[in-house]
Amino acid sequence: MEEVLSIKHKQTWEVCPWCGNKVVIIDSRSIYGRYYGLIAECVECKARVKLNQSFKGGLLATPEIRQQRMLCHEKFDSVWKKGLADRSQLYKVLADKLNIPRPACHFSYFNLTDLKRAYKIINQYRWWEK
């Protein structure tokens, strides 16, 4: 079974894995001007990840990783939002195609390499049926 690269690096919210500086928990209003919950953010390079009650966060995302996450979510979310498949089933299918455990299959856990692998899969026509 192939290991998701980012799972090797457990997030502690103390030190940024990208630049080594301090990570703080901030209110999302300071970034978006609206409250979307709390965010863990590096004070130096501004790598960040959203935190919420059901999901405690994943890998701090650089701007490049954030962009790739948005691309993945755009493709992935459009399937379940159109009612073409159940969201949890989509994650299971994606986990199977990535050859990773289902609990490790969340875009916030993925690094850039993982996100690009996932995007190749979900960019295929009706990928969840194959």
In tens, the pLDDT along 7-55 reads: 444 455 689 999 999 999 999 999 999 998 889 999 999 999 988 665 5
Residues 28/125, Cβ–Cβ less than 8 Å: no
* Residues sharing a CB contact under 8 Å with residue 28, sequence separation 6 or more, in sequence order: 34, 35, 36, 37, 38, 39, 50
* Sequence-separated (6 or more) residues with CB below 8 Å from residue 42: 16, 18, 19, 21, 22, 23, 48, 60
Q: Where are the alpha helices (DSSP H) in the chain?
A: 29-32, 63-81, 87-98, 112-122
Higher per-residue pLDDT: 105 or 12: 105
Q: What is the pLDDT of residue 55?
A: 59
Beta strand pairing status for 23-27 and 48-51?
unpaired
pTM above 0.95, yes or no: no
The pLDDT value given to residue 130: 81
- pLDDT at residue 19 in the model: 95
